[in-house]
Structure 1
Amino acid sequence: MRKTVFVVLLIGFCFQTSCDDGDILTIEFDFDDTFKTCGDLVFYKTKSDPSESLSLAVTDVNFEDLFDVMPGETLNVTSNSNTFNYRTYSNTTLPSTLFCNDIPPSEINIKEDYESANDTATFTITLSEDDNDGIPAEYEDLNNNGDYEDDDTDNDGIPNYLDQDDDGDNVFTATEKPNFTDQDGLANAQDTDGDGTPDYLDTDDDNDTVLTRDEESVDQDNNPTNDIKDPNVGADYLNKDVALSVPAVGYREHTIYQTFTISLYIENVNLEVITQDFDFGTLDNSATSKTRTLTPDF
């Protein structure tokens, strides 16, 4: 919850009212830290008790431009053609379609509407990527030099922190049970053959001299997990008594998970009763979570 308190000194503002020069007006913006978007670049947040909204409509920014950022970099996109509104309502609650309808809901009653136009609104965008294999990126920095990009166990061109299959055996890391916990780290990672190398980094998990990725005698689909000669033991790549080699011909497709963080800061706000910069928060939208796929060269 983001609570912003504005204290405004009213001088000469109380004509024909009971207040005196120098009275203080306190305005609380008790909104969430996140905001939403819909339609033609309208960014907004709402709240109840009391019912209020903040919204920014921009006309000089393309929504897709907010995602034109490289991993690890910071992109700033600025709008100088916009309208910023703070509204209060007599309604007890506000409908979820308040800003996302071509026709505004008819039951809405606006009490007050303050507007500030053509402020400097800056979107700050960062992109982080991960393989979602259950191992935090810092634990995939095997040489402990702080550079995640130079750790590539299987030399497939994908650093471990983005590689769903760290050892290149066509069994995804998450399937090989790294068993990471905050308390024990990777101390309990599965090591089927007990050779001191956990399965997720071991190219021959059962130590039967046949590479895990080549144990495909049943279904030749670059996925050793469904090749099972003895159901009582499990997949052949974990069964040292099955050593049939059918050489793999390629790597499996990898998915890399992307998280875009888009924050909004508005400078020089002038809403009559409020004149200062405003931190609008962080965008909450499904579009900020994306994926990309790639298949390493074999």
Structure 2
Amino acid sequence: MRKLLFVSCICFFSFYTCDDGDVLDIEFDFDETFQVCGTNDLVFYKTKSDPSESLSIIIANLTLEELLDVDETGVYEADFSLSTTNTFNYITYSNATLPNNLFCNDIPLSEIKIIKDLESTSGNVHIKTVLTEDDNDGIPAALEDVNGNGDLTDDDTDGDGIPNYLDEDDDGDNVLTKNEKPDPNGDGNLSDALDTDGDGIPNYLDDDDDGDGVKTRDEENESQDQNPSNDTSLNGIADYLNIEVATTVPATAYREHTIYKTYLVTLTVSNFDLQIISLDVFDFGVLANSALSTSRKETPNFN
């Protein structure tokens, strides 16, 4: 939960007198995440119960697709001025609990009873989206900087056009990196990565895992389906790990790769005035939305 700090030491507001003489008890204790709904006009909001309160920001003429339209560096960043159409609201309710779809109905919910609606029409809203892509292969992206120059985009062990940090199969042998035990104990130290042939090259970077002179991807003796792991013609050991099997069946394609995408959307409000609450900067939080985690498919050109 987020408990705001105002004037550097006050943890919550209690018993503030409003302009109309009402007394309002404000705790302002919200989760660090927020939700969004809308099509052409977006509403960013967060709600809580006990007491029932909400914070909401309306940004007109903005779509979720625009928020996810990042530039070549994977970033979208924009500022919006609060106004009579772009408003920041703090609302209290007499309801014991609030519905999940409070702000996402075309028709107002009749059971909702508002006690106080404080609105700021001046100030600034800053929205930032950062796209992170990864291969989820069990190796942190920072450890896939093979040449050690700090640039992940030029590390492409198998030369398939997909850098290692996005490549589910770093060595292009058609066995997924995560299945080649790059970090058996999961401690982030790759020094214990599986190296079947003991040549000093871990399996996940070795295109001939058993050292029999036949590339792993060419050891599909039973089913040519871009998956050498299911070809076990002798002793129940996968042929690509069995030095006693050196039959060559030339591969003709790479397997399809999945690249995982995650959008991190954050929002801050600055220099606003909600009559009884004025802050230089308020961290509204991080957008929680399952649609922000997605993936794309890519099959490299075979070489």
With the length of structure 1 as denominator, give the TM-score of the two structures: 0.88
> Given the alignment, which residue of 206, 219, 237 partners 1:234?
237
Moved more, 101-110 or 249-258: 101-110
In 2, the alpha carbon distance for the partners of 1:159 and 1:16 equals 63
* Identity between Structure 1 and Structure 2 (%): 57
- CA distances 1:224-244 after superposition (whole Å, capped 9, x unpaired): 1222213x4332111111222
Are residues 247 and 288 of structure 1, via their aligned partners in 2, closer, same or farther at CA, if it must alter by over 3 Å?
Answer: same
Contact 2:136 2:260 in 1 (8 A): yes
Where does 1:1-298 land on structure 2 (aligned, <5 Å)? 1-6=1-6, 27-40=26-39, 41-70=42-71, 72-80=73-81, 81-117=85-121, 119-179=123-183, 181=185, 183=187, 185-230=189-234, 232-276=235-279, 277-298=281-302
Matched residues, number:
290
Deviation at 1:160, TM superposition (A): 0.9
How far apart, in 2, do the equivalents of 1:96 and 1:13 lie? 28
Alignment match, 2:10: none
Q: What is the distance in 1 between the residues matched to 2:172 and 2:115? A: 62
What per-residue deviation string (whole Å, max 9, x for no partner) do you get for residues 82-132 of structure 1?
A: 122111111222222222333333332211111223643221111111110
Q: Distance in 1 between matches of 2:296 and 2:213?
A: 34
Q: Is the 8 A contact 2:16 2:25 kept in 1?
A: no
Q: CA RMSD in A?
A: 2.6
Q: Can you give the 5+ residue segments of structure 2 that lack an aligned partner in the other structure?
A: 8-12
Q: Structure 1: 5+ residue runs without aligned partners?
A: 20-24
Secondary structure (helix, strand or coil) at the match of 2:87 reads: strand
Are the aligned partners of 1:6 and 1:27 in contact in 2 as well (CA < 8 Å)? no
| CA–CA distance in structure 1, aligned partners of residues 99 and 257 of structure 2 | 41
Deviation digits for residues 18-49 of structure 1 (CA, Å, limit 9, x no counterpart): x9xxxxx9844211111011233111101122
Report if the CA contact (8 A) 1:153-1:160 is conserved: yes
Q: Out of 186-195 and 26-35, give the one that drifted further.
A: 26-35
Q: What are the Cα deviations for residues 199-250 of structure 1, in whole angstroms up to 9, with x where unaligned?
A: 10111111111110011121112221222213x4332111111222111111
CA distance in 2 between partners of 1:112 and 1:249 (Å): 68
Which AA in structure 2 matches 1:66?
L
| Aligned-partner residue type, residue 37 of structure 1 | V
Deviations 1:148-197 (A, max 9, x none): 12211111111111111100101110111112556460122111122221
8 Å contact kept, 2:38–2:63: no
| Aligned-partner Cα distance in 2 for 1:218–1:125 | 47
CA shift in 2, pair 1:189/1:83, >3 Å: same
* Separation in 1, partners of 2:18, 2:101: 35
Q: Aligned partners of 1:99, 1:14: CA distance in 2, in Å?
A: 26
Which stretch has the larger CA shift, 268-277 or 201-210?
Answer: 268-277
| Equivalent-residue separation in structure 1 for 2:236 and 2:102 (angstroms) | 58
